[in-house]
């Protein structure tokens, strides 16, 4: 199984499709290292950590911050995404902060958890509308929040805390069971 198939399987497990930009990022990584140092900035990383934690907050299981999803996002964007997609994400981060300033008169990182959720819910609705629009052409950039959500989910559910605490996980399964009954409300299997 190659990396593209593995990520596609994770997406199916999570019940969603992965955008073309994410799949194209899985084609190969940039061996020469990061080109976009704006993604390496501490304020960008902390901003990404706050967004990821809002998408997957800490509950009875660790959240995205505990899984260090912000670091995963930065590495994936720098090493695997095209410069155009990196630019879309960086511009999207500016849009999130501008929307925060406009709606709450505060920077996104200074918002309460409820305010962050309210703002990102509105941006997610914008993403859905963007993807459903009638005049969408092939080659149009992926919505920045689509990329951020996908990387957050992929980073979280492939991390140790996500795979072992949020999903059911057996390090060394004892036997193969092809059909296991599922009770509503149970965790999905990590492997």
Give me the DSSP letters along 16-57: -PPPHHHHHHTT---TT--S-GGGGSHHHHHHHHHHHHHHS-
| Of 55, 87, 30, nearest in space to 155 by CA | 55
Position 120 scores a pLDDT of 97
Position 99 scores a pLDDT of 96
Give me 182's structure tokens.
Answer: 């599922």
Position 33 scores a pLDDT of 47
Asked whether the predicted pLDDT for residue 158 surpasses 80, the reply is: yes
Give pLDDT tens digits for 174-184: 676 777 787 88
Residue with tokens 């492997």: 191
Residue 76: pLDDT band (50, 70, 90) is very high
Average pLDDT over residues 61-86: 93
Most confidently predicted of 10-14, 26-30, 71-75, 134-138: 71-75
In whole angstroms, how far apart are CA 143 and each of 124, 131, 188? 10, 8, 28
Residue 101: pLDDT band (50, 70, 90) is very high
Least confident of 48-52, 133-137, 171-175: 171-175
Average pLDDT over residues 102-114: 96
pLDDT above 70 covers what percent of the chain?
Answer: 77
Residue 133: pLDDT band (50, 70, 90) is confident
3-state secondary structure of 13: helix
Higher pLDDT, 20 or 153: 153
Asked whether the predicted pLDDT for residue 126 surpasses 90, the reply is: yes
Give me 116's structure tokens.
Answer: 């962050």
Sequence-ordered list of residues with C-beta below 8 angstroms from that of 45, at least 6 positions apart, any chain: 70, 71, 74
Average pLDDT over residues 77-88: 91
Higher pLDDT, 181 or 125: 125
Read off the pTM.
0.73
Sequence-ordered list of residues with C-beta below 8 angstroms from that of 83, at least 6 positions apart, any chain: 35, 36
Give me the DSSP letters along 117-178: HHHHHHHHHHHHHHHH-TT--TTPPPPHHHHHHHHHHHHHHTSHHIIIIISB--SS-SS--S
Asked whether the predicted pLDDT for residue 85 surpasses 70, the reply is: yes
């Amino acid at each position: 199984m190659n990396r593209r198939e593995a990520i596609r399987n994770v997406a199916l497990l999570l019940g969603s499709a992965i955008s073309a930009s994410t799949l194209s990022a899985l084609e190969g990584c940039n061996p020469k290292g990061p080109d976009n140092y704006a993604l390496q900035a501490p304020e960008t990383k902390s901003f990404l950590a706050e967004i990821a934690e809002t998408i997957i907050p800490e509950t009875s299981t660790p959240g995205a911050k505990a899984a260090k999803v912000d670091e995963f996002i930065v590495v994936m964007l720098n090493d695997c995404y095209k410069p155009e997609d990196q630019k879309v994400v960086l511009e999207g981060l500016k849009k999130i902060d501008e929307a925060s300033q406009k709606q709450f008169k505060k920077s996104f990182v200074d918002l309460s958890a409820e305010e962050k959720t309210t703002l990102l819910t509105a941006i997610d609705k914008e993403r859905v509308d963007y993807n459903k629009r009638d005049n969408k052409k092939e080659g149009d950039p992926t919505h920045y929040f689509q990329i951020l959500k996908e990387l957050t989910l992929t980073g979280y559910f492939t991390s140790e805390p996500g795979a072992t605490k949020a999903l059911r996980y057996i390090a060394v399964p004892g036997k193969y069971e092809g059909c296991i009954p599922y009770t509503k409300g149970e965790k999905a299997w990590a492997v």
